[in-house]
Amino acid sequence: MNHTDVEVLSDCSIRSIMMATGNFLKNRAMSSAATTSPSVDKVDGFSRKSVRKAKQKRSQSSSQFRAQGKPIELTPLPLLKDVPAPEQPELFLKKLQQCCTVFDFIDTLSDLKMKEYKRSTLNELVDYVTVSRGYLTEQAYPEVVKMVSHNIFRTLPPSDSNEFDPEEDEPTLEASWPHLQLVYEFFIRFLESQEFQPSIAKKYIDQKFVLQLLELFDSEDPRERDYLKTVLHRIYGKFLGLRAFIRKQINNIFLRFVYETEHFNGVAELLEILGSIINGFALPLKAEHKQFLVKVLIPLHTVRSLSLFHAQLAYCIVQFLEKDPTLTEPVIRGLLKFWPKTCSQKEVMFLGELEEILDVIEPTQFVKIQEPLFKQISRCVSSPHFQVAERALYYWNNEYIMSLIEENSSVILPIMFSSLYRISKEHWNPAIVALVYNVLKAFMEMNSTLFDELTATYKSDRQREKKKEKEREDLWKKLEDLELKRGLRNDGIIPT
């Protein structure tokens, strides 16, 4: 108990760094945590959730807003609608420039007047880009991008909660949201405007811009991630030249997430965008896309926080399989490879995803994968965790899956039989036993000769297994004796 508490407490500073540095530093950061804060293990580590929640609603702003100190003065400008049309583009630029000023929202009392002025200006700009015509001069593009960049691009602050549990904890909200929201709103309207020309904009909305945009997906504020999703989607749609780059960078984010940090708040949002991107892939699929599926999407299943984005992930996977059924085998093999060993919740998620895949599987693909697949299902069915067993047994309620099983009963029944037979007698949960009886009954009706055969040989099969087990043990014993003997003979030469 003490040990876990230590982690929670020392985490505050270390964890966020680990997120940034990944595995290279994992060990180092841990050991430095141990050496630099010797006090930590003596201290109460209970950060009671109730206590934390009782505090005021947490909100954060990033470094750049603080530390300015001086009051900010903006000279009020006339409203756009109050000046003659020819002067509007000029005034529009001036307003954009004014909106580049960012305010400190952690200090709720500073610059109140100017904050309000900027808010109303942003509101005006939102309306203006939505309804006006002829405002988008070529000079406006760099100014718009500059204003947006100044406001949204910032280093995200360290995460406040060490072990953020999205089901329990409130996310930290962005303090400057009153302005930020309008900036996002404005930018989306700008991108969606009829006058918007990607050919001009691409000079300013470039790779560097996109990279910074993608980093913002790590924001803890779900409202911000939601806007970012729309923004990225629009950019992906309008800038053909950036598409490959965007996909590659998302790749990198995911790989870092899986193999280095296990922390990134925007995975679900990025997957959602990918879902629609995959939907639009042309056939035959490029090697790059297949690689993405096998080397990035499948390993995403290994992440501890899978539950946060599993629905979106499963959607992407199924999208791929609908595009190209020949990918079924590598996908299922991948899932089997990463099958959860200890986390029952995840196991249930895997079973759910597998059912989604089986719903669209082609019979020819099914035959290729049925053996390893049903070996796993047979293990799930006999899981002592009843939710896992139950979830697996529900497959037998799925008509399409049933039809596949029936067609291949001669292969599947022998794989499943011993598990089913055993738990029909041994499982602690009566509901599971009842479900198993139904499954056994279904098998009996499907292929009664095979069923009878298996029942008859059940005992002798078990004995044969035991015998094999014994032989294994003997083999190893012999090998060890041999090692000992040789070890003695060549004393000192053979490492032990």
Considering only residues 136 to 165 of the shown chain, the ones binding other proteins according to CB under 8 A are 155, 157-158
CB-based burial label for 144 (10 Å; 0-12, 13-18, 19+) = buried
For the residues of 374-442, what is the DSSP string, one character each? HHHHHHHHT-SSHHHHHHHHGGGG-HHHHHHHHHTHHHHHHHHHHHHHHHHHH-S-HHHHHHHHHHHHH
Cα–Cα distance, 159 to 289 (Å, whole number): 33
491 binds other proteins (CB under 8 A): no
Contact 124, 95 (CB under 8 A): yes
- 466-481 in b/e form (b: 16+ CB < 10 A) is eeeeeeeeeeeeeeee
Residue 117's nearest CA partner among 82, 72, 148 is 72
Residue nearer to other proteins on the CB measure, 252 or 438:
252
Residue nearer to other proteins on the CB measure, 189 or 256:
256
Measured at the CA of 401, the angle between CA 396 and CA 405, to 5 degrees, comes to 85
Smallest gap from residue 473 Cβ to other proteins (A): 11
Site for other proteins (CB under 8 A): which residue of 63, 120, 397, 455?
A: 63
How many residues bind to other proteins according to rule CB under 8 A? 54
**Residue partners of 378: CB distance under 8 A and separation at least 6:** 415, 416, 418, 419, 420
Residue nearer to other proteins on the CB measure, 61 or 319:
61
Residue nearer to other proteins on the CB measure, 13 or 429:
13
67 binds other proteins (CB under 8 A): yes
* DSSP E strand boundaries for 134-230: 173-174
Residue nearer to other proteins on the CB measure, 53 or 472:
472
**Which stretches of 207-327 are DSSP H helices?**
207-216, 222-238, 243-256, 267-279, 287-292, 310-323
**Which of these segments, 39-47, 121-129, 133-141, 358-366, binds other proteins (CB under 8 A)?**
39-47
36 binds other proteins (CB under 8 A): yes
Going residue by residue from 361 to 380, which x/- string records binding to other proteins, judged by CB under 8 A? Answer: --------------x-----
Rounded alpha-carbon distances, angstroms, from residue 273 to 229, 253, 281, 289, 293: 7, 14, 13, 15, 15
Smallest gap from residue 480 Cβ to other proteins (A): 6
Residue nearer to other proteins on the CB measure, 160 or 407:
160
Smallest gap from residue 437 Cβ to other proteins (A): 27
Considering only residues 13 to 32 of the shown chain, the ones binding other proteins according to CB under 8 A are 13, 16-17, 20-25, 32
Residue nearer to other proteins on the CB measure, 322 or 483:
483
Smallest gap from residue 135 Cβ to other proteins (A): 33
Binding residues for other proteins (CB under 8 A): 5, 9, 12-13, 16-17, 20-25, 32, 36-39, 42-46, 63-64, 66-67, 155, 157-158, 208, 211, 252, 255-256, 259-260, 295, 299, 337, 375, 471-472, 474-476, 478-480, 482-483, 486, 493-495
